[in-house]
């Protein structure tokens, strides 16, 4: 996978090859449309760096939370209204979750204009292994994938208070250009983690599986001025795991990790186990799923091919 964004050639006829209804309006020169969000908030340095790096690739629309919304996972606001503030021509703040931002971006702000890529980041901190279950950054890319658009989530794996996002922004722009030139199957997003090292020290880009983060099982107990207890959860994380070709280990060795993720969370490896279970009083239904991986399910929002 090339990651030099200047080396990527975006097919100018690519839109004509997709199922685009007549009458839809697109930006000047039919340049790609990129929807960008995050979970660190609209003023986060990582978001600003990434927006600048993506500008040469197309028309960037930023719709991000009005404050930090880290670890909100794929939460969506259904029981209270959302407020939307326009901060620039294509820059908006939402008093909701990252998923709210993508939903509003896709279904309201962009109107009939379809994005070519939905991007989350650059997150300040890692989203490795089982972090993706909790991550609002990953939810941005996954929400795009749920709607049938290519998704991308990028994180800089550092805990420093004021990190340099320039290398991660360059890497992301290169990966984004490659995805625009060759989109993944509908429903797929890429989760990317960039080590906090100099550009020259990055060993390359490596395909990885999700690893496992063994967070310390820690609950901190404090007391407020009235003597009532409150709690902080979490702890220190390990830098590596024992999972072969994991994203944790790749980043620890100086690689940029790239992990494809699909919204279909079915565990195909457990078909035989689940099929063998017997529940008293119920007949076992017959399935045709087999015992191994099966083809991507048809995406209901994708145009039929062939």
For the segment 47-74, the average pLDDT, to the nearest whole number, is 95
Phi and psi torsions of 90, nearest 5°: -135, 40
Q: Is the CB of residue 287 less than 8 Å from the CB of residue 274? A: no
If we measure between CA atoms, which residue out of 152, 160, 89, 91 comes closest to residue 122?
152
Largest CA distance in the chain: 68
Q: For the chain, which domains are there?
A: 5-212+243-276 (3.40.1210.10)
pTM for this structure? 0.86
Q: How far is CA 125 from the centre of its chain?
A: 14
For the segment 179-199, the average pLDDT, to the nearest whole number, is 96
Q: What angle do CA 207, 213, 215 make, to 5 degrees?
A: 165
Query: Over the stretch 126-168, which tens digit does the pLDDT of each residue have?
Result: 999 999 999 999 999 999 999 999 999 999 999 899 999 999 9
Sign of CA dihedral 286, 291, 293, 294: negative
For the segment 258-284, the average pLDDT, to the nearest whole number, is 91
Q: What is the pLDDT of residue 293?
A: 78
Q: Structure tokens of 230?
A: 């409150």
Q: What is the pLDDT of residue 191?
A: 98
Query: Over the stretch 19-38, which tens digit does the pLDDT of each residue have?
Result: 333 333 333 347 999 999 99
Q: What is the pLDDT of residue 303?
A: 54
Query: Over the stretch 203-251, which tens digit does the pLDDT of each residue have?
Result: 999 999 999 987 767 888 999 999 999 998 877 776 678 899 999 999 9
52 — pLDDT class (breaks 50, 70, 90): very high
Evaluate if residue 306 carries a pLDDT over 80. Answer: no
């Amino acid at each position: 996978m090339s990651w030099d964004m200047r080396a990527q050639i975006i097919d100018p006829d690519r839109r004509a090859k997709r199922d685009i209804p007549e009458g839809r309006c697109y930006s000047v020169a039919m340049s790609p449309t990129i929807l960008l969000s995050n979970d660190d908030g609209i003023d986060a340095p990582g978001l600003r760096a990434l927006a600048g790096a993506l500008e040469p690739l197309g028309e960037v629309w930023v719709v991000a939370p009005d404050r930090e919304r880290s670890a909100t996972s794929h939460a969506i606001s259904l029981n209270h209204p959302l407020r939307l503030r326009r901060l620039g021509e294509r820059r908006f703040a939402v008093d909701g979750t990252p998923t709210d931002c993508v939903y509003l971006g896709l279904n309201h702000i962009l109107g009939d204009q379809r994005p070519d890529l939905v991007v989350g980041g650059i997150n300040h901190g890692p989203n490795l292994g089982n972090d993706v279950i909790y991550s609002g950054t990953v939810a941005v890319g996954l929400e795009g994938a749920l709607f049938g658009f290519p998704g991308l989530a990028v994180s800089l794996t550092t805990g420093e208070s004021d990190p340099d996002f320039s290398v991660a922004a360059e890497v992301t722009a290169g990966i984004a250009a490659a995805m625009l030139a060759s989109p993944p199957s509908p429903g797929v997003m890429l989760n990317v983690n960039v080590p906090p090292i100099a550009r020259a020290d990055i060993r390359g880009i490596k395909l990885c599986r999700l690893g496992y983060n063994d967070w310390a099982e820690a609950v901190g107990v404090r007391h407020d001025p009235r003597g009532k207890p409150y709690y902080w959860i979490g702890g220190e994380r390990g830098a590596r795991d024992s999972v072969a070709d994991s994203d944790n280990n790749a980043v620890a060795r100086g690689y940029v990790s790239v992990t494809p993720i699909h919204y279909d969370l079915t565990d195909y490896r457990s078909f035989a186990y689940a099929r063998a279970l017997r529940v008293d009083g119920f007949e076992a239904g017959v399935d045709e799923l087999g015992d191994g991986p099966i083809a991507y399910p048809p995406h209901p929002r994708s145009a039929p091919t062939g």
